[in-house]
């Protein structure tokens, strides 16, 4: 039985552990933190429960597929589909609800913006076509293995791309492509999807227009028990399969000999392994765990994705106009991204995202209150020397645009900054998604899932292919396991 050492008990690490253990491998997970989840941890504070990391759940089939790989040892997992993805608020008083049902969405576009909804609905259809045409090529396989580009696979993928050619913009930016929606506010709305991998919509390639299909076409969902229920289901499934998980056990080195991994060294000693899977950020993996080996400098020096400043507020207010996901727009969206990527500052008037998990998990807050997750985009590496000022600006914006005086109803608070995110999760400079996707070749510049120079070394997680966020980390785990079975069979 081959032994697998997994570094990190985040989504990618746990999912890979499940797939490897289900195939009969002996799997041990080493987690530096005192709790599981990676970026997706939780906090209990004054009667409120907060999900500290990702707040959006899409493409649930990927999680179900991961759990199903464990057969009868899979832990139960329950979720519900939502009838809308988000409530949007503009400074001029415009409000918009992104309904899941197409006819309701079309009517809402006409009502909110007083335009013919046909161009916007066509735009969404192109998003769906582009997603289906490219998913097999860019998301569901490695981009860095020769067998991925076999004649049969290449012909298949090119055939799908040809069928969806009208939805495959190859030269424009995402912002330019989104002008087709027919209204500047809708253009801004669809530009936001670049932030789903921490990128700048005014530079990011238009191919990112496929991302909205995850919400508008496939739907948004809410796990029963909140987002941390995803981690709980993965963890319990791993335990059921016999995976050993060591908490409070940081890995100090990945051990190698003659060009191949031999195990890991933790603060508690050396542990032999035939295969090592790093779920840690790729930069500290090379800089700290493999200091004697040549690092992929071009990838490690790539432009970082955004980070964030997140306020976790227990708010004693019913907030009737707010739903699970809410966006309060910046007045000048382009200026916000210029501040983030050119000036490396938080904009004077940032877009504010509010998630209230108790909308779908009422047990997470006292009756009549809400567990608010309030986030503004921040540059990776941003030093928190103005939190009090930022808090006041965010609260003022919420009061101005929703009428809710948060300060008057605030019962508790916790704050995460980019430095906090970096120290808690090991993410380089606190970047939430690894490298940004601000260039047409960005998909190919993410680190590969298998190291070609060090035998038996694999990678999962948001800093490597196919990218960050729960769905892509789950896909990455599947890709990594398939490579492991191919190149390091038992």
CB atoms within 10 A of CB 245: 19
- The predicted pLDDT at position 374 comes to 98
The band of 155, judged by pLDDT with boundaries at 50, 70 and 90, is: low
Q: What is the pLDDT of residues 224-239, one digit of tens each?
A: 999 999 999 999 999 9
Strands 325-328 and 84-89 turn out to be: parallel
- Give me the percent of the chain exceeding a pLDDT of 90: 87
Q: How many helices (H) and strands (E) does the chain have?
A: 17, 20
Phi, psi of 451 (to 5 degrees): -80, 125
The band of 153, judged by pLDDT with boundaries at 50, 70 and 90, is: low
Range of the domain at 107: 102-218
Start-to-end Cα distance in the chain: 7
Both 258 and 158 in a single domain? no
Q: Which of 63, 59, 96, 296 is nearest to 196 (CA)?
A: 59
412 located within any domain: no
Residues sharing a CB contact under 8 Å with residue 482, sequence separation 6 or more, in sequence order: none
- The predicted pLDDT at position 444 comes to 64
434 located within any domain: no
Both 110 and 205 in a single domain? yes
Kindly state the average pLDDT of the residues 457-470: 95
By CB atoms closer than 10 A (0-12, 13-18, 19+), residue 381 is: middle
- Give me the percent of the chain exceeding a pLDDT of 70: 96
ω into residue 466 within 30 of 0, thus cis? yes
Kindly state the average pLDDT of the residues 299-323: 96
Q: Residue 154 above 80 pLDDT?
A: no
Kindly state the average pLDDT of the residues 55-59: 98
- The predicted pLDDT at position 37 comes to 96
Both 197 and 228 in a single domain? no
Both 298 and 280 in a single domain? yes
386 located within any domain: no
The band of 83, judged by pLDDT with boundaries at 50, 70 and 90, is: very high
Both 214 and 229 in a single domain? no
- The predicted pLDDT at position 149 comes to 64
Q: Residue 385 above 60 pLDDT?
A: yes
90 located within any domain: no
406 located within any domain: no
Q: Residue 91 above 70 pLDDT?
A: yes
| Cα four-point dihedral sign 155, 159, 161, 162 | positive
Q: How is residue 366 written in tokens?
A: 């006292």
Structural domain count of the chain: 2
Q: Residue 94 above 80 pLDDT?
A: yes
Q: What is the pLDDT of residues 329-362, one digit of tens each?
A: 999 999 999 999 999 999 999 999 999 999 999 9
Kindly state the average pLDDT of the residues 209-235: 97
Q: Residue 1 above 80 pLDDT?
A: no
- Picking from 173, 198, 218, the residue at the C-terminal end of a domain is 218
Separation between Cα atoms, residue 433 and residue 461, nearest integer Å: 9
Taking all residues of the chain, what is their mean pLDDT, rounded to a whole number? 94
Kindly state the average pLDDT of the residues 318-333: 97
- The predicted pLDDT at position 170 comes to 75
The band of 5, judged by pLDDT with boundaries at 50, 70 and 90, is: very high
The band of 136, judged by pLDDT with boundaries at 50, 70 and 90, is: confident
32 located within any domain: yes
- Picking from 202, 218, 234, the residue at the C-terminal end of a domain is 218
- The predicted pLDDT at position 164 comes to 55
259 located within any domain: yes
- Picking from 200, 218, 236, the residue at the C-terminal end of a domain is 218
Phi, psi of 410 (to 5 degrees): -80, 130
Q: What is the pLDDT of residues 252-289, one digit of tens each?
A: 999 999 999 999 999 899 999 999 999 999 999 999 99
């Amino acid at each position: 039985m081959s032994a697998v050492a997994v570094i990190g008990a985040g989504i990618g690490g746990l999912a890979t552990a499940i797939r490897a253990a289900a195939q009969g491998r002996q799997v041990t997970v080493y987690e530096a933190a005192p709790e599981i989840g990676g970026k997706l941890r939780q906090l209990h504070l004054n009667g409120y429960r907060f999900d500290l990391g990702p707040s959006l759940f899409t493409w649930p089939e990927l999680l179900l597929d991961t759990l199903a790989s464990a057969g009868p040892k899979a832990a139960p997992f329950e979720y519900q589909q939502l009838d809308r993805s988000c409530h949007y608020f503009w400074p001029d008083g415009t409000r918009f609800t992104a309904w899941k049902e197409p006819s309701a969405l079309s009517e809402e576009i006409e009502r909110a913006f007083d335009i013919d909804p046909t161009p916007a609905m066509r735009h969404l259809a192109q998003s769906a076509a582009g997603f289906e045409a490219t998913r097999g090529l860019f998301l569901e396989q490695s981009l860095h293995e020769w067998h991925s580009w076999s004649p049969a696979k290449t012909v298949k993928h090119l055939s799908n791309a040809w069928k969806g050619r009208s939805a495959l913009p190859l030269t424009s930016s995402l912002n330019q492509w989104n002008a087709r929606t027919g209204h500047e506010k809708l253009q801004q709305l669809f530009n936001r999807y670049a932030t789903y991998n921490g990128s700048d919509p005014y530079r990011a390639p238009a191919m990112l227009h496929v991302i909205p299909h995850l919400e508008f076409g496939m739907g948004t969902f809410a796990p029963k028990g909140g987002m941390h229920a995803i981690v709980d289901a993965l963890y319990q499934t791993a335990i059921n399969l016999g995976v050993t998980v060591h908490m409070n056990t940081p890995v100090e080195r990945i051990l190698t000999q003659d060009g191949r991994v031999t195990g890991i060294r933790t603060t508690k000693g050396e542990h032999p392994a035939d295969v090592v899977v790093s779920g840690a950020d790729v930069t500290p993996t090379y800089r700290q765990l493999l200091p004697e080996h040549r690092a992929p400098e071009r990838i490690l020096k790539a432009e970082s994705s955004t980070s964030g400043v997140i306020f976790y507020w227990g708010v004693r207010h019913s907030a009737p106009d707010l739903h699970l996901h809410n966006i309060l727009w910046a007045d000048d969206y382009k200026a916000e991204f210029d501040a983030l990527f050119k000036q490396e500052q938080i904009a004077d008037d940032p877009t504010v995202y509010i998630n209230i998990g108790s909308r779908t998990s009422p047990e997470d807050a006292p009756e009549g209150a809400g567990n608010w997750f309030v986030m503004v985009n921040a540059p990776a590496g941003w030093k928190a020397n103005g939190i009090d000022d930022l808090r006041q600006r965010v609260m003022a914006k919420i009061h101005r645009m929703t009428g809710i005086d948060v300060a008057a109803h605030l019962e508790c608070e916790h704050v995460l900054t980019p430095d906090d995110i970096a120290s808690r999760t090991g993410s380089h400079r606190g970047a939430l998604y690894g490298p940004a996707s601000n260039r047409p070749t960005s998909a190919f510049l993410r680190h590969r899932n298998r190291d070609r120079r060090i035998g038996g070394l694999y990678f999962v997680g948001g800093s490597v292919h196919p990218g960050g966020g729960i769905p892509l980390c789950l896909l990455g785990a599947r890709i990594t396991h398939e490579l492991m079975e191919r190149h390091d069979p038992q």
